Structure 1
Amino acid sequence: MRIIFLGTASCYPTAQRGVSCTAVRFEDGDVWIFDCGEGSQVQIQKSSIHPGHIKKIFITHLHGDHLFGLPGLMCTLGSQVQEKSAKLLLEIYGPFGLRRYLRESLNLSRSPLTFQYVVHELIPSKEAVTEEIKQWKIEEEATDLLHPQEKLGKQIITKAKTWHLFEDDKVKVEAGFLIHRVPTFGFVIKEKPTPGRLKTEILLEKGLKPGPLYGKFKKGESVTLSSGEIINPEDVVGDPKPGRTLTILGDTCDSSGMLHIAEGSDLLIHEATLEDSLKELALENMHSTPSMAVDFAKEIKAKKLILFHFSQRYRPLSEEEKNGSSISTILEDARSAIEKNNLNCNVDIACDFMEVDVKRPINI
């Protein structure tokens, strides 16, 4: 599992940094995109990602720096992968209103697509809809006029403060609610354990050569030999390899709604829009500081923390010599908070096109 940071700034893209867009590439080559701010399709073209491998897109909230690049990316996908796109069903997950936004954008611009797509909307719980959110008198329900390539998606409601999005034999994806100026979600990818190492030396001693029976053991099935001996999988398969847990948050000034699903994350990706000395301003705009991110990492016992979504007031590390605040201030604040809390948690700051491997946990 590899993370590719495509846009790590907030608000608007610049020549130095793109806005929110993060990719997760799995071992089978599939790519999932988390947020798609303005200019994300350009960032993807500059990266190691093949657009034809994008299978799912997750939107944390409907602010432009997380969303405005999505219609353009969808139009680009079909033109770049013509030979495969007819078979593609692009699955998109995001807050209530995302379906209407995409449907109107693509229909009004008469944008043809060479693949089908579906939007699954996360419906906020009643207590999550604040008075500030209610002040905007908008209609979030989508019209009945589907895009020609659109399939009708699900409306996902919360169960015990968890939105269950997707599950197959490899991973499960859940969402939790974050406190921000609009309904906002964080996403947790939970990889399922994989079978342990097959102890071939034992099987060879029993006269079993490599073949279809080996696969049965990996599937957890017992095998009866011609002699009548029964070999159980636990006798010839090592301990399961634990899966990885990845948590990616949207904008937030309070991440406590993720505590119950993000515990034990191997990697936490958390926003840190402003430095600690500007915490009051960060809270006023319902954002986080490095120390706030570290506090949440401590609560969920995260093994590694990467900060992103930086204000444009901070220059990238390569631009430090120029006028303006350096992004290193954010990292220094985070490291100080780690030391103060005596945490065994690695911390780093993201930069555009940085790639990070999420290692599998080691059995103890």
Structure 2
Amino acid sequence: MCQDRKREKRMSTVVEITFLGTSSGVPTRSRNVSSVALRLPQRGEVWLFDCGEGTQHQLLRSEIKTSQLRRIFITHLHGDHIFGLMGLLASCGLAGTAQPVDLYGPTGLKDYIQACSKYSYTHFGNRVQVHTVQPGVVYEDEEYTVSCGLLKHRIPAYGYRIAEKDRPGRFNVEKAKALGIPPGRIYGQLKNGETVTLADGRIIRGQDLCGPTESGRKLVYCTDTVFCESAVEIAQEADVLIHEATFAHQDAQLAFERLHSTSTMAAQVALAAGVKLLIMTHFSPRYAPGNELDVNNLLEEARAIFPNTKLAYDFFSYEIPRHRSDQLAEIS
């Protein structure tokens, strides 16, 4: 029973990223175009970031349940980030998925959805809601806050920051029992950090019975953009920064012309923002295996600046670990 409770607690706090497309511009034999899924199994939800052409096929090849798709965040309106959107939404409807889907993205996203719906005779009713984003908070609930910042690209493009809210530390049941505090609703109040007056007149502060506050995890997704201070700002102290690295350092001139990032720019953002892990994605097909430079060269360039860097590839999954205080609470 104890082991089951521990397993349930671990499952209740999973935050897992899965890359569904890691190529820039066009797909290749091994990489589809941009899309990243955030899986929140404790809520039975999947949040999608960008939806390039073929994303629904990638979902079918993954372990992610399309029926759990709840929110889609679009960075900008270039085709390699949105051409899979209408197909995916239509398929969800044809499959009888009753769950509503909220879309978040730049000005023009709503017009795009309406035009595609009109000329393809696809009707979503109230199932799909489109929210136009501006820098700042774009979504918030009891557990998460999603905010965005304007990046630097040829058209308006936004980076997204997903922040899990801090939670009170582990409640010390043994100490509560020793103080003669009756179990029940009062325990819940104290665990939430509230101050409670008992029937005998004693005043008990919840913070005295809880361990250190459990800091929420933070994920940041930045693409498409050349190096900019806005990316550094929204990436501050993130647990994971997903950042585009379209070009190698030697092709920096192309990056500046097309307002994309090099591997070294992505690393500089990670370093300046003090993130824990950088995962690079959105690689130009020019760095395919067998060419003069490949993505492993980009990894070497980035690690020279920011050692804790990984390369994304299609279907690569990464579970964002809980902070150390959380891990200690879990096994206690």
User: What TM-score do you get using the length of structure 1 for normalisation?
Assistant: 0.81
| 1:361 alignment partner in structure 2 | 323
CA drift of 1:51 comes to: 0.6
Matches within 5 A, 1:195-344: 195-208=168-181, 210-315=183-288, 320=289, 322=290, 325-338=293-306
Per-residue CA shift, 1:318-344, capped at 9, x if unaligned? xx4x56642211111111223xxxxxx
CA drift of 1:363 comes to: 4.4
Work out the CA distance in 2 between the residues paired with 1:106 and 1:44: 22
Work out the CA distance in 1 between the residues paired with 2:176 and 2:325: 23
| 1:70 alignment partner in structure 2 | 85
Could you say what secondary structure the match of 2:187 adopts? Answer: helix
| 1:11 alignment partner in structure 2 | 25
Per-residue CA shift, 1:6-55, capped at 9, x if unaligned? 00001112331110000111242311100000101100111111011111
Could you say what secondary structure the match of 2:162 adopts? Answer: strand
Work out the CA distance in 1 between the residues paired with 2:159 and 2:274: 17
| 1:352 alignment partner in structure 2 | 314
Paired AA for residue 77 in structure 1:
C
C-alpha contact 1:96 1:121 (8 A) present in aligned 2: yes
C-alpha contact 2:236 2:275 (8 A) present in aligned 1: yes
- Give the share of equivalent positions with the same residue, in percent: 40
Cα RMSD, aligned residues only: 1.8
Work out the CA distance in 1 between the residues paired with 2:219 and 2:44: 17
Paired AA for residue 138 in structure 2:
L
Matches within 5 A, 1:26-45: 26=40, 27-45=42-60
Unaligned runs of 5+ in 2: 1-14, 327-332
C-alpha contact 1:31 1:54 (8 A) present in aligned 2: yes
| 1:183 alignment partner in structure 2 | 156
CA drift of 1:171 comes to: 1.2
Paired AA for residue 300 in structure 2:
E
| 1:129 alignment partner in structure 2 | none
C-alpha contact 1:78 1:114 (8 A) present in aligned 2: no
Could you say what secondary structure the match of 2:324 adopts? Answer: coil
Please state if 1:164 is matched with 2:159: no
Higher helix share: 2
C-alpha contact 1:171 1:191 (8 A) present in aligned 2: yes
Per-residue CA shift, 1:193-232, capped at 9, x if unaligned? 0111001111111234542221111223233333322221
Paired AA for residue 57 in structure 1:
I
Paired AA for residue 251 in structure 2:
L
Per-residue CA shift, 1:250-275, capped at 9, x if unaligned? 11113312333321111111100111
| 2:64 alignment partner in structure 1 | 49
| 2:7 alignment partner in structure 1 | none
C-alpha contact 1:5 1:352 (8 A) present in aligned 2: yes
| 1:174 alignment partner in structure 2 | 147
CA drift of 1:176 comes to: 0.6
Paired AA for residue 281 in structure 2:
F
C-alpha contact 1:282 1:288 (8 A) present in aligned 2: yes
Unaligned runs of 5+ in 1: 123-155, 157-161, 339-344
Paired AA for residue 39 in structure 1:
G
CA drift of 1:69 comes to: 0.4
User: What TM-score do you get using the length of structure 2 for normalisation?
Assistant: 0.89
Work out the CA distance in 1 between the residues paired with 2:183 and 2:45: 30
Work out the CA distance in 2 between the residues paired with 1:285 and 1:254: 12
Paired AA for residue 298 in structure 2:
I
Work out the CA distance in 2 between the residues paired with 1:303 and 1:34: 21
| 1:341 alignment partner in structure 2 | none
Paired AA for residue 234 in structure 2:
I
C-alpha contact 2:16 2:319 (8 A) present in aligned 1: yes
Could you say what secondary structure the match of 1:313 adopts? Answer: helix
Aligned length: 311
C-alpha contact 2:194 2:207 (8 A) present in aligned 1: no
Work out the CA distance in 2 between the residues paired with 1:115 and 1:21: 24
Work out the CA distance in 2 between the residues paired with 1:214 and 1:301: 37
Per-residue CA shift, 1:69-127, capped at 9, x if unaligned? 000010111233x2x51xx22111111111111110011100133761111113xxxxx
